[in-house]
Structure 1
Amino acid sequence: MWRDESVTYQVAHRSLDELWGLLSQIDAVHGLYYLLMHAVFAVWDGGLLALRLPSVAATALAAAGVGAIGTRLAGRRAGTLAGLVFAVLPLTQQYAQEGRSYALVTAGVTWAAYFLLRATADSRARWWTAYALTLVLASWLHEFAAPALVAHGLTLWRSRPERRDAWRWAIAAVAVGTSLLPLAVISAGQAEAQLGWLGRPSLSAWLLFAGLSAAAVALCRLLLRVGAPGAVPLTRLALPLLIAPAGLLMTISLIKPWYVDRYVLYGMTGLALPAGTALAWAIGQRHRLAPAARMLTACLLAGAAVAVLLPWSLLVRSPESRKDDVVAVARVVERQAHKGDGVLFMPSRRREWLLSHPGVYGRLDDLALAESPAVSRTLQGTELKAAEIRRHILATDRIVTLQDPPGQPLDAVPEEEVKRRTLRAHFEVCERTGVHGAQVVVYVRRGVIPC
């Protein structure tokens, strides 16, 4: 479990009153997801399995949606292969086994695209209603699902729809935007706290975006050149979905950082569709090869796929694929801490590392805590003033500290500075244990108690 999953876990275990109080201050963008997870834990408090099960189910649902779109546009084989390609993409696998909302958003946006296809082919209003309601649900799970409307609009524009369909899509888009307006207003007020940690997209992010886009364009050009079934409508749907939402957020982020790849995870649908269709076309050409050449080609392609995908697949299932490992931190603290020891979080936001392990956290005396997360309606609680923190530290002989790894920038605020200064002046390091993304350092009062 990494820090974002820990937030989901501890917030979803709050009462509805406490949860509502939190959302009025921060994380309103995740409000519907937290309510869903609150319901999941109310039915079955199954720990990490319960935390991640909705994401697993949503990814399966999204893969089925990719398959349904591919089948409708390019045939059953293409749909099946597109769904399989979607499922094995490393980014899909990463968020399939993470307790956050992104897999659910992807399922919603993918099925909204399917309903859009049905709506433009069938004049009955139920498909437009399904399209609008599904996109509303996805956008309330995370409001950055809304840029999918831009992709769908481009798809319709390139398809030269009938005037009636254009108007119905416009009405659906207005309905989605209107329903999202309350969430947008609330989250705009929380934007600094919510997205203040983001920087502008890095060079590697731009290169990844360019590489994926180029691969999808190349696949679509191949399908068009060979005249693969459904190549034209599939290209019109897939490329905007992959490129437009991510490109829009990345461009905006040059001015105001908003972009993280997981916010537009649903763009992977736009990559899986042409990839699956290209595989289906290639399989359809197998009769042109001699049996021996056919077998050799199949083995080479399968070997290349395993060689490329297996290392990534294993990586995203390891703690090293995340920024930290909350479970590992809690285990170290449980092993090293004595009941009644003081604990300091340096910086204070690292309190998240223990909040999802109340059995471990409850054994310790939080020396800097002013109000708990639930009482203060915050994610990690509020801390005392610097002078009070110093007084509490000096009244304690043994302190467990949870810190960022060496080399990370230090928060230059009085409360954090007084923690570091007081520990240096009056304590000595008894034990230092590094774990992925963190370190647990035990201090004892100099000359008072032995290590």
Structure 2
Amino acid sequence: MLVLGLWGLEREGALWADEAVTYDMASRTVPEIWRTLGSADAVHGLYYLLMHGVFTVWEPGLVPMRLPSVLAMCATAAGVAAIGRQLAGPRAGLLAGLLLPMLPMVQKYAQEGRSYALVCACVTWGTWLLLRRRWAAYAAVMLFACLLHEFAVLVLVAHGVTLWLGARARSLPQADGLLPALPRGWRIAAAVVVLGLAPLIGVSITQSQQVDWIAFPSDPDLILIALGAALARLSLRSPALAAVAPVAVPILVLPTALLLAVSLFDPLFVSRYVLSYAVGAALLLGAVLDRHWSRALVLATAAASVVALVGHGPQQRTPAGRSDNVGRVAAAIAAASEPGDGVLFSPHRRRSSILVHPSSVRGLTDVSLAASPRASDTLFGAELPPDRIRARMLAADRIVAIQDHWGKPVDPFPEERVKREVLAAEFTLQEERSVGRVRIGIYLRNAPDGEPNTRPNTGPDSTP
């Protein structure tokens, strides 16, 4: 895991939008971080504070930002091996620990400057502590996981089901009911975690508009969920996996299923929010290989892993390996713009494209910005009122607009509505280019007679 995590860690200097936010937040002072969390991203607050500590002892950069995730995934792999060893023996544990780093999603998030790998490590070792009934340590580790990202609380449900399945397997009389079958120590630990998390949940609910960009799960996500459910069903019915399935299947299925169920009413499902499913998948795969051990199977698995690494690994470690490369977006903004142009970020979170590349908008007027992110203690800057945004847009002859792709959910806020309305009514789209998940459009102000201006774009790489 360490070798795969360090391989191409810098990705040729590229980073994606959420990493840009991490870099910006970790570079602020603790009071600035704290004030910002009062209005945005409280769910990632503990992670930003931890990364601020890293940047305090190590000069800010891509390696210090991503290395904690690499080390966290190493701890995850070690924990998976330890759990597999305890449940099914040394070989099953070793195979599970070796297979975890082969999973593409593990390699991806091991190299992200975000909290997901750290959450995975905490969930893994929390599971190990669960199996050993070390309730105080379990409560501390799981609370830490939930404070890193509150959706880790869904793993508590998985752990409760694991304990209930274990009680049923031992034919305990109280296993006919759910709560009586759960050890008192676990119930106390779970209550401590929920109570400790409650203040963060209260704050994050007030910031729920931040996730309005989340759409219903994509078809690839749904296919993966269906495959995971099928694997889980087969595993629970297999006598050969009787020792591993009660632990692995709930972690693989339940957090994902619960978040998906919530998303039927309020879209919140993003696969990285429940990345711990990789732990359950690795445990099951290791147990299957151990149960059906043969030299041919081992060679086939090794060959498949090598093919996956050769076919997928190098591309994942290039700037193209992330669809939201903010450096590339910043460069495209600079190439498309001319001195004196207006620049418009719609929605305003697209301003993350310039958080670490502010020179890309030097000489341009951000027509909706009231105060910079750091000056306003916000993630993406404070926006002007709608009427001021309208006036500043109408004062510009040429606007470079950075927008989401067509079909993405649009923000309902008045500031965002006025941006869309003025562009549609008063400007004509001259040219547009696509950069990852972003559209960069060059808009010309309509002439007084309503006809579009014909001022050409002189920026390089323009695409009609």
Q: Tell me whether the two structures share a fold, i.e. TM-score over 0.5.
A: yes
After superposition, the Cα gap between the structure-2 partners of 1:340 and 1:16, relative to the gap in structure 1 and judged at 3 Å, is farther
User: Is 2:158 the counterpart of 1:144?
Assistant: no
Q: Deviations over 1:148-196 (max 9, x none)?
A: 11111111112128889711111111111111111111112222x1332
After superposition, the Cα gap between the structure-2 partners of 1:45 and 1:262, relative to the gap in structure 1 and judged at 3 Å, is same
Tell me if the contact between 1:444 and 1:450 (Cα under 8 Å) persists in the aligned partners.
no
AA aligned opposite 2:205:
A
SS at match of 1:257: coil
User: Is 2:20 the counterpart of 1:6?
Assistant: yes
Tell me if the contact between 2:248 and 2:280 (Cα under 8 Å) persists in the aligned partners.
yes
* Structure-1 residue corresponding to 2:195: 178
Corresponding residue to 1:98 among 112, 126, 135: 112
After superposition, the Cα gap between the structure-2 partners of 1:389 and 1:201, relative to the gap in structure 1 and judged at 3 Å, is closer
Provide TM-score, normalisation by structure 1: 0.83
In the aligned structure 1, how far is the partner of 2:404 from the partner of 2:111? 25
SS at match of 1:403: strand
In the aligned structure 2, how far is the partner of 1:313 from the partner of 1:220? 32
User: Is 2:50 the counterpart of 1:36?
Assistant: yes
* Structure-1 residue corresponding to 2:11: none
Q: Deviations over 1:129-150 (max 9, x none)?
A: 1111100100100111111111
User: Is 2:261 the counterpart of 1:245?
Assistant: no
* Structure-1 residue corresponding to 2:6: none
Q: How does 1:275-424 map to 2 (within 5 A)?
A: 275-283=285-293, 285-286=294-295, 294=296, 298-307=298-307, 310-314=310-314, 316-320=316-320, 322-337=322-337, 341-393=341-393, 395=395, 399-405=399-405, 413-424=417-428
AA aligned opposite 1:68:
A
In the aligned structure 2, how far is the partner of 1:409 from the partner of 1:159? 43
Corresponding residue to 2:71 among 34, 54, 57: 57
1:300, CA displacement in angstroms?
4.0
User: Is 2:169 the counterpart of 1:153?
Assistant: no
Q: How does 1:59-208 map to 2 (within 5 A)?
A: 59-119=73-133, 127-160=134-167, 166-191=183-208, 193-208=209-224
Q: Deviations over 1:227-255 (max 9, x none)?
A: xxxx4332211111111211122122222
* Structure-1 residue corresponding to 2:461: none
Q: State which drifts further: 398-407 or 358-367.
A: 398-407
1:278, CA displacement in angstroms?
2.0
In the aligned structure 1, how far is the partner of 2:182 from the partner of 2:422? 64
In the aligned structure 1, how far is the partner of 2:185 from the partner of 2:407? 55
After superposition, the Cα gap between the structure-2 partners of 1:26 and 1:367, relative to the gap in structure 1 and judged at 3 Å, is same
* Structure-2 residue corresponding to 1:256: 266
* Structure-2 residue corresponding to 1:267: 277
1:449, CA displacement in angstroms?
9.2
Q: State which drifts further: 298-307 or 90-99.
A: 298-307
Q: Deviations over 1:265-293 (max 9, x none)?
A: 1121111112112223333x44xxxxxxx
In the aligned structure 1, how far is the partner of 2:432 from the partner of 2:156? 51
In the aligned structure 1, how far is the partner of 2:389 from the partner of 2:198? 42
1:318, CA displacement in angstroms?
4.8
* Structure-1 residue corresponding to 2:234: 218
Q: Deviations over 1:43-97 (max 9, x none)?
A: 2233222222111111111111101111122222211110111111112122111
Q: State which drifts further: 393-402 or 356-365.
A: 393-402
More helix as a share of residues = 1
In the aligned structure 2, how far is the partner of 1:189 from the partner of 1:313? 40
Q: State which drifts further: 99-108 or 314-323.
A: 314-323
1:344, CA displacement in angstroms?
2.2
Tell me if the contact between 1:385 and 1:415 (Cα under 8 Å) persists in the aligned partners.
no
Tell me if the contact between 1:25 and 1:378 (Cα under 8 Å) persists in the aligned partners.
yes
Q: State which drifts further: 67-76 or 42-51.
A: 42-51
Tell me if the contact between 1:390 and 1:419 (Cα under 8 Å) persists in the aligned partners.
no
SS at match of 1:258: coil
In the aligned structure 1, how far is the partner of 2:160 from the partner of 2:426? 59
Provide TM-score, normalisation by structure 2: 0.81
1:301, CA displacement in angstroms?
4.0
Tell me if the contact between 1:397 and 1:449 (Cα under 8 Å) persists in the aligned partners.
no
AA aligned opposite 2:263:
S
Q: State which drifts further: 384-393 or 152-161.
A: 384-393
In the aligned structure 1, how far is the partner of 2:37 from the partner of 2:349? 18
In the aligned structure 1, how far is the partner of 2:259 from the partner of 2:410? 30
- Percent identity, please: 44
After superposition, the Cα gap between the structure-2 partners of 1:46 and 1:24, relative to the gap in structure 1 and judged at 3 Å, is closer
In the aligned structure 2, how far is the partner of 1:258 from the partner of 1:394? 36
In the aligned structure 2, how far is the partner of 1:173 from the partner of 1:339? 58
1:351, CA displacement in angstroms?
1.3
In the aligned structure 1, how far is the partner of 2:407 from the partner of 2:183? 55
Tell me if the contact between 1:82 and 1:275 (Cα under 8 Å) persists in the aligned partners.
yes
After superposition, the Cα gap between the structure-2 partners of 1:394 and 1:159, relative to the gap in structure 1 and judged at 3 Å, is closer
Q: Which segments of 5 or more consecutive residues in structure 2 lack a partner in the other structure?
A: 1-14, 173-179, 446-452, 459-464
1:212, CA displacement in angstroms?
1.7
In the aligned structure 1, how far is the partner of 2:201 from the partner of 2:387? 39
SS at match of 1:434: strand
RMSD in angstroms over aligned alpha carbons? 3.0
After superposition, the Cα gap between the structure-2 partners of 1:194 and 1:171, relative to the gap in structure 1 and judged at 3 Å, is same
AA aligned opposite 2:231:
A
Q: How many residues align?
A: 423
AA aligned opposite 2:258:
L
In the aligned structure 2, how far is the partner of 1:183 from the partner of 1:298? 46
